[in-house]
Structure 1
Amino acid sequence: MSERGALALRSETAADRAFLRALFGAVRGPELGLGGLDAATLDTLLDLQFAAQQQSFRHGYPQARFEVIEVGGAAVGRMVVAQHAGAFLLLDIALLPEWRGRGIGGGLLRGLQQQAAAARQPLRLNVVLNNPAEALYRRLGFKETGVSGMHRAMEWENTMGEQQ
């Protein structure tokens, strides 16, 4: 996986807040297309967006797993997964830019697919339109189920038995 150590997931704690906010900025700042804003305004807007995302996930999915992705003990990302309405929902997966393209996301997604298959449930997610991660989702068998606003809904159905 990496020259620096093994991949691990651990539950988020209050001590992770600064890392999670920095990760949010590194991932969502470019997605929001706010490059023309001054640093203070951008930082304030990202703070508000981060707080809104956290509140939405925690209130909408109180039983969700909020996990920090680590490689060799260093935080490199986060993943939020819930089971809701007969499906696994990948609410968020984010990696620091320098950790993308190393197979981490694909490995975590394949693990979620195995969990969903064992539970005989689909795995659903939403991806921002034109996000390069969409290609990974398609390679792993996710199919588009709709588009709403800036997001594409995708679903992977339990086809593990058919593929193996």
Structure 2
Amino acid sequence: MPPPLHAAARFGIGYRPFAAEDFEFIEALYSSTRAEELARTGWPEDQKLAFLTQQHRAQHHHYQTYYPDAERLIVERGGEPIGRLYLDAWPLEIRIVDISLMPAARGQGIGEAILRDVIDHAATLGKGVSIHVEKFNPARRLYQRLGFVVAEDKDVYDLMEHGVPRPSSPA
């Protein structure tokens, strides 16, 4: 069940389950998240496309393999897909497997609103929220502003958490 829409509702956001027909959209979405990085390579467009296709398919396979029970949601605005939100419910936390928006939807507060709704929903369940964030991802500032802290250095990524309950150690 997707998190209730409260903050994100102000933006006319809706969620629907990912369907096989969405694969082309999520591939384009993935590519958009790597465009700036690949612009610096000097590679020809066909090489960039081949790389992005391979990388997206590897990511998609990873998500299906390691998060088989995750809720895969397409984020829509006005009935049009603008992003994705993949969530996996764990005993003490909701893991954000992926949250990404198309370039035209970035920088408007939509991602922050979605995150606030996920955090609020997790809190009502007595859970925290966690996400792996690349060290160079500009969204890190948003996560930190919302109260996420680095819980573990995972080399290229950091595991960031918000309100994840920790079992108390015996006295």
Count of aligned positions: 157
Residue of structure 2 equivalent to 1:162: none
Answer yes or no: is 1:52 the counterpart of 2:66.
Answer: no
Residue of structure 1 equivalent to 2:153: 147
Does the CA-based 8 Å contact 2:133-2:157 persist in structure 1? yes
| Letter of the structure 1 residue corresponding to residue 34 of structure 2 | R
Residue of structure 1 equivalent to 2:78: 72
Distance in 2 of aligned mates of 1:19 and 1:55: 16
Answer yes or no: is 1:14 the counterpart of 2:20.
Answer: yes
Structure 1 length-normalised TM: 0.88
| Letter of the structure 2 residue corresponding to residue 79 of structure 1 | L
Does the CA-based 8 Å contact 1:29-1:46 persist in structure 2? no
Distance in 2 of aligned mates of 1:108 and 1:124: 14
Q: 1:9 to 1:29 in 2, by over 3 A?
A: same
- 1:39-92 Cα shifts (integer Å, max 9, x gaps): 111111111111111111111111101111111111111111101353210011
Structure 2 length-normalised TM: 0.84
Structure 1 unaligned residues grouped into runs of 5+: 160-164
Secondary structure at the aligned position of 2:97 is classed as: strand
Residue of structure 2 equivalent to 1:23: 29
Q: 1:123 to 1:32 in 2, by over 3 A?
A: farther
Distance in 1 of aligned mates of 2:158 and 2:115: 17
Residue of structure 2 equivalent to 1:117: 123
Answer yes or no: is 1:102 the counterpart of 2:99.
Answer: no
Distance in 2 of aligned mates of 1:130 and 1:95: 17
Deviation at 1:121, TM superposition (A): 1.4
Structure 2 unaligned residues grouped into runs of 5+: 1-6, 166-171
Distance in 2 of aligned mates of 1:30 and 1:149: 21
Deviation at 1:32, TM superposition (A): 5.5
Deviant stretches of 4+, over 3 Å:
31-35
